Structure 1
Amino acid sequence: MSTSALVLGLFISWGLFLVILMEACRCYFLIKGRIRSNEFKPDNSNLPPFMQRLARAHANCIEGFPIFGGLLILALVTGRTEITDALAPWFLFARLAQSSIHVASLSVVAVNARFVTFVVQVGIAVYWAWALLLN
């Protein structure tokens, strides 16, 4: 398996982990009687701040999948993973850092750090798109 394929699988698994964590927390709130099943809002806005940040981190991961995952898939189906393999682990590290920071805090320092991790991902994606489409 190429590094790109492994990172794509881990990227998908990270999104899955975030949704499982969110649903486990929601189940906890249901079991404890803190909320009824028909009261959940998609953004968790009626739940504690951690849950709101978790919902946003998950949504952000899913929103990025068509771009980042799509470029990895393009490299895989065209047999050009030599373009994506070297930076794929750095992309994944930046994605994991972004989500983790998002869940942990909304402080100014955290938001700035999260932005830096996103810029890293975008920079990698721009390079991948350029290399895959123009070379």
Structure 2
Amino acid sequence: MTGLVAVLGFALWIVVLTFFYASPRLVLIVTGKKEGNAWGREKGETNTGLLMRAKHAHLNALEVLPVFAAVVFVAYFMDKAAVVDTLAAFVLFARFGQSIVHMIGTSTPLVFIRANLFAIQLLLILYMGFNLL
């Protein structure tokens, strides 16, 4: 997997997470159980459990994508794609794992696993970035 494919996969994963937590809202709107404007930042959070955790997994992924994409794109612009191509897939897989664990629950062991998967992503991105210097 190339770095560019990994960035694309990361972006598509964010879209999947968005559909996962937002689709139940669409069902409520279409069936007339809620108005389309029933949700909003000023109205507080109405999602609970799995949907809330999916939303947080989505937001967490949004925080990492720009940095990951920047490192991959810089590598390609510098004609040093090989630096990121070998490790970018691991960043993506760690993101998948982190998001899935995030949605499973918030017990101490799960938070520990999630934090380690997050740290793996950051360390890999740092490693790739420093190898571009």
Whether TM exceeds 0.5 here: the answer is yes
Deviation by residue 1:8-48 (Cα, 9 ceiling, x = unmatched): 11111111111122221221233455533212135x72122
1:4: Cα distance to partner? 0.8
- C-alpha distance 49-36 of structure 1, shift in aligned 2 (>3 A): farther
Distance 1:109 1:29, change over 3 A: farther
| Distance (whole Å) between structure 2 residues aligned to residue 120 and residue 94 of structure 1 | 7
Greater RCO, 1 or 2 (C-alpha within 8 Å, sep 6+)? 2
Residue 129 of structure 1 corresponds to 129
Q: CA RMSD in A?
A: 1.9
Q: Partner of 1:87 in structure 2?
A: 87
1:25 is matched by which residue type in structure 2?
Answer: P
Distance in structure 1 (CA, Å) of the matches to 2:104 and 2:35? 26
Deviates more, 1:51-60 or 1:26-35: 26-35
Alignment match, 2:37: 38
Q: Is residue 111 from structure 1 mapped to residue 114 from structure 2 by the alignment? A: no
Give the number of aligned pairs: 132
2:55 corresponds in structure 1 to: 55
- Letter matched to residue 119 of structure 1: A
Which residue does the alignment assign to 2:26?
27
Q: How many percent identity over aligned positions?
A: 25
Q: If the length of structure 2 is used for normalisation, what is the TM-score?
A: 0.89
Which residue is equivalent to 1:64?
A: 64
| Unaligned stretches of 5+ residues in structure 2 | none
Unmatched 5+ stretches in structure 1? none
